[in-house]
Homo-oligomer: A and B are copies of this chain.
Amino acid sequence: MPLALGKIERPSDSDDCEVGLSEGTTAMSPLARRQTNLTVPPMITIASIAPHVGEEVELKGWAYNFRSSGKIFFLQLRDGSGKVQVVYSKGEMDQVQWEALQSLRLESSVRVRGRVKQDDRSPTGFELEGMTFEMIQLAQEDYPIGKKDHGPDFLLDQRHLWLRAESQWAIQRVRNTIINATYAYFNENGFIKFDTPILTPTSCEGTTELFEMDYFGEGEDGGTKAYLAQSGQLYLEAGIMSFGRCFDFGPVFRAEKSKTRRHLTEFWMMDAEAAFVEHEGNMQIQEGLIVRIVKDVLEKNAYELKVLERDIEPLKKVQAPFVHLTHAQAVVALRALGSDIGERDDLGADDETLLTEQYDRPIFLEKYPAEVKAFYMKRDPREPDRVLNNDVLAPEGYGEIIGGSQREDDLSVIIERMREHHLPLEPFEWYLDLRRYGSVPHSGFGYGLERIVAWVCGLHHVRETIPFPRMMHRLNP
């Protein structure tokens, strides 16, 4: 039987898509992230075998890889919680089971029993001395992934299977940690989750990039259109007048005909909003969130970051205080670095990259020219042609991960801004009511989850950061 390992080496021409296990991976012992057994229903998983050293355990999972040396069979077993090598000796097991092992194919589902041994040479810290083997389902011979190098289109067509590759497993586990860190941070800081609507009657920023559909158009209402939300911010502003601090976290949609590595048509957005918080406090909240996210990932996903070959030194430097630059300071710095950015221009992606390379921490970029920003941003009283906004740029060239601002809270001023932006007032009367009845200083910000995941995991393209990416030419599977 040929060695199977060669089959799932990392492809070289995959345009940054990753597949399978890179053999050189060494990782922290899972002891560091030891879990208790699953109890509902009771089940031992690979991530929870540490307390079972010396014991016999039963594990169920998939054959991620295997090789045979005639009398010894090495099975790489994964079960969702982690992976472990099971070593079988022909002379020490049932011969029918030994034959079943010889017929094994990649990604077959299997049940094994074995004795847990600590093994410091193993990338995962443990090994199983195999005792019994049972095939749950022998996979078809032609497992689509891993026999050769694959391009991104092929892998995305096989996304339902590609998710099993260790790199993809690692990315989604990091994503899960980032989601949970976000919830934990907001819970601890007085925010409640406030689910803003996806189906909306209009949009504050025009409809050119909105997905549109009939909303019971053939019914008695006749011809009503609904639009998929791009952000829940305006609704959150209503929420904080009741709850003080709110966040939402859900899918948003952008019908942008854009094919860059940073764009998806459906992505997850977190928006947070807080009453009685002004520009400086808004940045404190953002800084705390980013520090918390990176800290939790470093603590909980050391193994996953190793799998992804992520250099964790830059992540360790993500500590408060972040760098603060005004837009005006950034323009001066960028011109000195060779950029031709105009004095009142928004930063382009290249400018962001250039700037982040100057610092090893995230950058707060504050106080943009008012004309390049949205109507609801409050002007800086000291420089009324600029707004009290900020972006956060992630280091290592990743660029914008957060956008936020203090909001205009004066009724007459915000009406003036809406007129300047040629926005009709009528659909926003409810939003204006928030300035009529107990208006308060308030601020908020949002992050795109996929951009945070891409940065923390060190990925080039956001398409790997979400389970089933949707792009202009990709609605499948």
Give the interface of A toward B (CB within 8 A).
35, 38-41, 43, 45, 60, 62-63, 79-81, 107-109, 136-137, 139-140, 143, 159-161, 163-164, 168-169, 172-173, 175-176, 179-180, 183, 187, 189-190, 192-201, 211-216, 219, 221, 224, 226, 235, 238-245, 250-251, 253, 255, 257, 265-266, 268, 275-277, 280-281, 284-285, 288, 409, 430-431, 433-441, 466-468, 470, 472-473, 475-477
Q: Are B468's CB and A235's CB within 8 A?
A: yes
Q: Are A109's CB and B440's CB within 8 A?
A: yes
**Of B164, B194, B436, B475, which is within 8 A of A242 by CB?**
B164
- Cα-based distance from A431 to B476 in the complex (angstroms): 12
Q: How far is the CB of A75 from chain B (nearest CB, A)?
A: 13
Q: Are A221's CB and B60's CB within 8 A?
A: no
**Of B190, B251, B265, B475, which is within 8 A of A200 by CB?**
B475
**Of B164, B192, B285, which is within 8 A of A241 by CB?**
B164
Known A-B contacts A235-B467, A467-B239; the reply to A198 vs B440 at CB < 8 A is: no
Q: Are B436's CB and A195's CB within 8 A?
A: no
Query: Can you sample 9 A-B contacts with CB below 8 Å?
Result: A40-B281, A159-B238, A160-B430, A160-B434, A161-B437, A163-B238, A164-B242, A200-B475, A251-B251
- Cα-based distance from A73 to B265 in the complex (angstroms): 55
Q: How far is the CB of A137 from chain B (nearest CB, A)?
A: 4
Residue among A45, A161, A240 with the highest chain B CB neighbour number at 10 A: A161
A476 partner residues in chain B, CB cutoff 8 A: 201, 430
- Cα-based distance from A140 to B108 in the complex (angstroms): 68
Q: Are A41's CB and B172's CB within 8 A?
A: no
**Of B194, B437, B472, which is within 8 A of A139 by CB?**
B437
- Other than A41-B281, A140-B437, give 9 A-B pairs with Cβ distance below 8 A: A45-B190, A81-B190, A137-B438, A161-B238, A163-B241, A195-B268, A198-B251, A250-B250, A430-B476
**Of B80, B180, B201, B472, which is within 8 A of A240 by CB?**
B80
**Of B63, B81, B108, B199, which is within 8 A of A266 by CB?**
B199
Q: How far is the CB of A9 from chain B (nearest CB, A)?
A: 19
- Cα-based distance from A281 to B201 in the complex (angstroms): 43
Known A-B contacts A140-B436, A438-B62, A439-B109; the reply to A199 vs B470 at CB < 8 A is: yes
Known A-B contacts A160-B430, A238-B163; the reply to A438 vs B109 at CB < 8 A is: yes
A79 partner residues in chain B, CB cutoff 8 A: 244
Residue in chain B with minimal CB distance to A283: B41
Residue among A63, A160, A440 with the highest chain B CB neighbour number at 10 A: A160
Q: Are B199's CB and A265's CB within 8 A?
A: yes
- Cα-based distance from A432 to B109 in the complex (angstroms): 15
Q: Are B80's CB and A243's CB within 8 A?
A: yes
A43 partner residues in chain B, CB cutoff 8 A: 276
A437 partner residues in chain B, CB cutoff 8 A: 107-108, 139-140, 143, 161
A473 partner residues in chain B, CB cutoff 8 A: 216, 221
Q: Are B139's CB and A438's CB within 8 A?
A: yes
Residue among A40, A226, A241, A265 with the highest chain B CB neighbour number at 10 A: A40
Q: Are B244's CB and A197's CB within 8 A?
A: no
Known A-B contacts A240-B80, A467-B197; the reply to A173 vs B160 at CB < 8 A is: no
A180 partner residues in chain B, CB cutoff 8 A: 183, 187, 193
A441 partner residues in chain B, CB cutoff 8 A: 136
Q: Are A195's CB and B80's CB within 8 A?
A: no
Known A-B contacts A193-B176, A468-B197; the reply to A80 vs B288 at CB < 8 A is: no
Q: How far is the CB of A161 from chain B (nearest CB, A)?
A: 6
Q: Are B197's CB and A470's CB within 8 A?
A: yes
A475 partner residues in chain B, CB cutoff 8 A: 199-201, 215, 224, 226
Q: Are A38's CB and B190's CB within 8 A?
A: yes
Residue in chain B with minimal CB distance to A185: B40
Residue in chain B with minimal CB distance to A285: B40
Q: Are B251's CB and A195's CB within 8 A?
A: yes
Known A-B contacts A180-B183, A243-B80; the reply to A60 vs B280 at CB < 8 A is: no
Across the A-B interface, give the 9 residue pairs with the lowest CB-CB distance, nearest first.
A80-B244, A41-B281, A430-B477, A213-B213, A109-B438, A160-B238, A176-B192, A137-B439, A163-B242
Known A-B contacts A160-B434, A197-B467, A251-B251; the reply to A173 vs B190 at CB < 8 A is: no
Known A-B contacts A45-B190, A475-B200; the reply to A80 vs B275 at CB < 8 A is: yes
Q: Are A244's CB and B45's CB within 8 A?
A: yes
Residue among A80, A245, A430 with the highest chain B CB neighbour number at 10 A: A80
